[in-house]
Structure 1
Amino acid sequence: MVAPEQVDQAVVAGQAVYTPRTLDLYDLVVLGLSNALIWKCPTGRLLEQYNRHVAARHLDVGVGTGWFLDHCRFPNRQPQITLLDLNQACLARAAARISRYQPKVVQANVLEPIGAAMDPFASIGLNYVLHCLPGPLVQKAVVFDHLKPFLAPGGVVFGSTLLSEGVERSRSAQVLMRFYNKRGIFSNQSDGLEDLRRELAVRFDDVRVRVIGCAALFVAR
């Protein structure tokens, strides 16, 4: 377990907004409203990606409220799920939500090497993680280096992130991103589509990135 006070404060800022109280509103505000109306990437499109790529042995990074794990279709009835997040409130909320699967919980900063002992996973999900991490993509893409040792041969890494460059952003998206970046909730003011593709391509052999609204949905093997 990693205590938040031991982590760089810029990393802490990106996840500190997710308290038990704000998590009560997360599904409505982010998944119900912001995705469809502001980011122009309806939550259903993100769920489709989970349904296509989630495996029976899955690691979820940046777990939010656990909504996607609660609603997606696993290939069997008893998947082995591990939740990894720095935020204890998110881990507790997601673990309780999918308690029927008896998930394992790991509290860690994905920007640092992960010291937890974990067997390889057939799928690793990073939904809406990268835009909350500090620094440019060339730096925060190190998360893939830290996760690759836990990816089984033939396994898949998939996820999504909100971009500022190389995508079309509505006026409301620009305003909200600017506000979130100022508050330290987001750190994606220089995150671009080509940067994301490049950082994935140097680490994986098969990379697919598609844009929906100002979100980039990626799949890498």
Structure 2
Amino acid sequence: MNDQQERAAAAVMAGQAVYTRRTLDLYDLVVLGLSNALIWKCPTRRLLAHYNEYVADTHLDVGVGTGWFLDHCRFPTDRPRITLMDLNPVCLERASARIERYAPKVVRANVLEPFELETGPFDSIGLNYLLHCLPGALERKAVVFDHLKPFLAPGGVVFGSTLLAEGVERSGAARALMRFYNAKEIFSNQQDSIEGLRRELAARFEQVRMEIIGCAALFSAR
């Protein structure tokens, strides 16, 4: 591994290391209950509606957080087949326990690197609030779509959301909190923009939809 690869690997580990059992205990309240509505200006109920619009009966969720959205969204079947993917074992543990009723499969992997899956293909792949946590510019982070596409079923959809720093309206509080999170390497989105995200999606998918709510971009691609 060369120096650049070592730095990239270290940045990936730093970005996910903040999610401990203690921080996950507060995540739903702080992020979903407060920050989304008051800071990012994209209410959690709108992100949930995005899930409800696109989630399918065979679903891969990447960057699972606490599993709140999978716990609350409306699947088109009573027995969805769900695979959870994350680099952080604590997140996987929390999310899989939360949706234990669906008997999800669990995969620990770095989505920035090629990976293998025993499950799939998937009719939907979700990346909620993942991209702004990955290190590097959007051009580099967009490799996640290249790694995920082989596991997408014909006619399937990749959907998700991310917080942007350029081309969106941000309050003073949003700017300050993003600066803090970027300094702590929790976020890496200083140059993430609407056009950059649209360009990376359009380079890989034929149909792309984007909606900007506050400083969040909600996207879907087929």
TM-score, normalising length: structure 1: 0.96
Q: Which residue of 1 aligns with 2:3?
A: none
Structure 2 matches for 1:73-152, cutoff 5 A?
A: 73-152=74-153
Q: Which residue of 2 aligns with 1:206?
A: 207
Which whole-Å CA distance do the structure 2 matches of 1:107 and 1:32 have between them? 27
Shift of residue 114 of structure 1?
A: 1.2
Shift of residue 9 of structure 1?
A: 0.8
Give the match's secondary structure for 1:157. Answer: strand
Describe the superposition over 1:71-120 as per-residue Cα deviations: whole angstroms up to 9, x where unpaired: 00000100000000000000000000000000000000000011233320
Which whole-Å CA distance do the structure 1 matches of 2:71 and 2:63 have between them? 15
Q: Which residue of 2 aligns with 1:154?
A: 155
Q: Which residue of 2 aligns with 1:49?
A: 50
Describe the superposition over 1:32-60 as per-residue Cα deviations: whole angstroms up to 9, x where unpaired: 00000000000000000000100000000
Q: Is 1:197 equivalent to 2:212 in the alignment? A: no
Aligned-residue sequence identity (percent) comes to 75
Which whole-Å CA distance do the structure 1 matches of 2:34 and 2:120 have between them? 37
Count of aligned residue pairs for this structure pair: 216
Runs (5+) with no aligned partner, structure 2: 1-5
Describe the superposition over 1:149-201 as per-residue Cα deviations: whole angstroms up to 9, x where unpaired: 00000000000000000100000000000000000000000101100000000
Q: Which residue of 2 aligns with 1:58?
A: 59
Which whole-Å CA distance do the structure 2 matches of 1:51 and 1:119 have between them? 20
| Consecutive aligned runs of 4 or more in structure 1 exceeding 6 Å deviation | none
Which whole-Å CA distance do the structure 2 matches of 1:22 and 1:120 have between them? 32
CA contact (8 A) 2:58 2:120 kept: no
Q: Is 1:37 equivalent to 2:18 in the alignment? A: no
Which whole-Å CA distance do the structure 1 matches of 2:217 and 2:208 have between them? 12
Which whole-Å CA distance do the structure 2 matches of 1:100 and 1:140 have between them? 33
Runs (5+) with no aligned partner, structure 1: none
Give the match's secondary structure for 1:105. Answer: strand
Give the match's secondary structure for 1:31. Answer: helix
Give the match's secondary structure for 1:55. Answer: coil
TM-score, normalising length: structure 2: 0.96
Amino acid of the structure 2 residue aligned with 1:134? P
Which whole-Å CA distance do the structure 2 matches of 1:35 and 1:214 have between them? 10
Describe the superposition over 1:116-141 as per-residue Cα deviations: whole angstroms up to 9, x where unpaired: 33320000000000000000001100
Which whole-Å CA distance do the structure 1 matches of 2:118 and 2:142 have between them? 22
Which whole-Å CA distance do the structure 1 matches of 2:118 and 2:104 have between them? 15
Which whole-Å CA distance do the structure 2 matches of 1:44 and 1:13 have between them? 29
Q: Is 1:176 equivalent to 2:171 in the alignment? A: no
